[in-house]
Amino acid sequence: MPVVRGKSIEVLFSASTIARRNLELAKDIAAHEYNDLLVISVLKGSFIFAADLIRAMHDTGLSPEVEFIFISSYGAGTTSGEVRVLRDIDNDVAGRDVLLIDDILESGKTLKFARDLMLSRGARSCAIAVLLDKHTRRQTELTADFVGFECPDYFVVGYGMDVAHAFRELPFVGIVTGDA
């Protein structure tokens, strides 16, 4: 079991498993024949997944534009969860097909907010791609269009995801199991 910062990490999805899945996701995305596609990476957690997925998309012949939005949700696991844009995209989304990329779909509040925002700005469509889906935690009607993996209800780290700002750099997704 890998040890990082003195903690044992159990690998849930390895780097090679994720890489294979990213290519399948990219092919699924390409099959939709989106027009003038604008990919929006939801920061911070999606930065590694988005970086890998857009390169897999390139391998399937897609050439999306890429944007970033920094969204923060407070108390996302509670009914009082409030979502705010901390840094917005620079592009106009009106008339465009948008693909939001995020790390985890949990309650759905973050991505519901982001998708409603893009549609209210006149996006032609707004699809959602997530690496992980914790569907048992859902508090909204939201479903993602492209899902890497169903995620068991553990707090996961790595591949962009953190606990208290740590472990984003891990090339795999894992669970912190305790002191090594």
Nearest to 125 by CA among 40, 45, 55, 58: 40
104 counts as binding ligand IMP under rule CB under 6 A: yes
156 counts as binding ligand IMP under rule CB under 6 A: yes
Lateral strand order in the sheet of 146-150: 82-87, 65-74, 38-43, 97-105, 125-133, 146-150
Q: How far is the CB of 105 from ligand IMP (least distance, A)?
A: 5
Among 13, 39, 45, 118, binds Mg ion (CB under 5 A): 45
How far is residue 35's CA from residue 38's CA, in Å, rounded to a whole number?
Answer: 9
41 counts as binding ligand IMP under rule CB under 6 A: no
Binding partner at 97 among Mg ion, ligand IMP, none, C-beta below 5 to 8 Å by kind = none
| Stretch of 22-30, 42-50, 112-120, 141-149 lying at the interface with Mg ion (CB under 5 A) | 42-50
117 counts as binding ligand IMP under rule CB under 6 A: no
Q: How far is the CB of 61 from Mg ion (least distance, A)?
A: 29
CB 143 within 8 A of CB 115: no
Paired tokens of 27:
């092919």
Paired tokens of 34:
């989106």
Nearest to 83 by CA among 97, 70, 93, 94: 70
| 26: Cβ contacts below 8 Å, ≥ 6 apart | 53, 56, 57, 59, 60, 62
103 counts as binding ligand IMP under rule CB under 6 A: yes
Q: How far is the CB of 13 from Mg ion (least distance, A)?
A: 17
Among 106, 129, 144, 147, binds ligand IMP (CB under 6 A): 106
Contact footprint for ligand IMP (CB under 6 A):
45, 73, 76, 102-110, 155-156, 161
